[in-house]
Amino acid sequence: MTDVCLIGSSDVVLRYELLSRETSREALSTYDLWEPYENAIALRTVSLGAAVSLLNDLDWYIVRFVDEVLVREPSVDDEEWLSRGLATAVRNDAVAPAETDQFCKLYGLLDPEDGPPEPVEPLFAQRVDGELPAYDLRPEVEETMVVRVSEEEFAG
């Protein structure tokens, strides 16, 4: 099972924007939705291919309302997310799953008093000897979210 997470732009309420429009509401209607992060929608698909296909179907909405698209594929890693571009490359066999861990984007997770954590200020980092550096952009952050990105996304 592959997880998909869409994190909304700061100026929109993502759940409202996606579920108030017929096409996106129909595309999402067969999935159980949850909110792992502030202003985010997550769902579980049957495969990486199904996840990429759903994202392609939702592209019009993603461009307008979403800041970050994440895919978590257990055959790559159980904990770390993939960017949409890297997930598509893995699905298309352009990148081997074992070659996805070098370039990352670390998000600090702010814990609110109630509700899900809020991802803040990404830090681009490379693994050195299999280890990522500590997230140090905000001292109050105790947890991080790791998103693996392609070399192009890292350099861009």
d(CA 118, CA 106): 13
Q: What percent of the chain is modeled with pLDDT above 90?
A: 94
Residue 129 is inside which H or E element, if any?
none
Confidence (pLDDT) at 155: 84
Share the mean pLDDT of the chain.
96
Kindly state the average pLDDT of the residues 131-151. 94
Give 114-136 pLDDT, tens digit per residue: 899 999 999 999 999 999 999 99
Give 74-112 pLDDT, tens digit per residue: 999 999 999 999 999 999 999 999 999 999 999 999 998
Which is more confidently placed, 112 or 61? 61
Residue 77 · residue 141 · CB < 8 Å: no
- Using the structure block, give the residue that is written with the tokens 């909304």: 8
Residue 86 · residue 52 · CB < 8 Å: no
Q: How many CB atoms lie within 10 A of CB 22?
A: 8
Confidence (pLDDT) at 84: 98
d(CA 147, CA 107): 8
Q: Are strands 143-148 and 81-83 parallel, antiparallel or unpaired?
A: parallel
Q: How many CB atoms lie within 10 A of CB 112?
A: 9
Confidence (pLDDT) at 113: 86
Instruction: Report whether pLDDT(52) > 90.
Output: yes
CATH numbers and ranges of domains, the chain: 2-95 (3.30.70), 99-155 (no CATH)
Kindly state the average pLDDT of the residues 46-63. 98
The alpha carbon dihedral of 139, 109, 8, 14 has a sign of: negative
Kindly state the average pLDDT of the residues 32-50. 98
Tokens of 14: 């993502």
Tokens of 129: 């000897």
pTM above 0.85?
yes
Kindly state the average pLDDT of the residues 31-59. 98
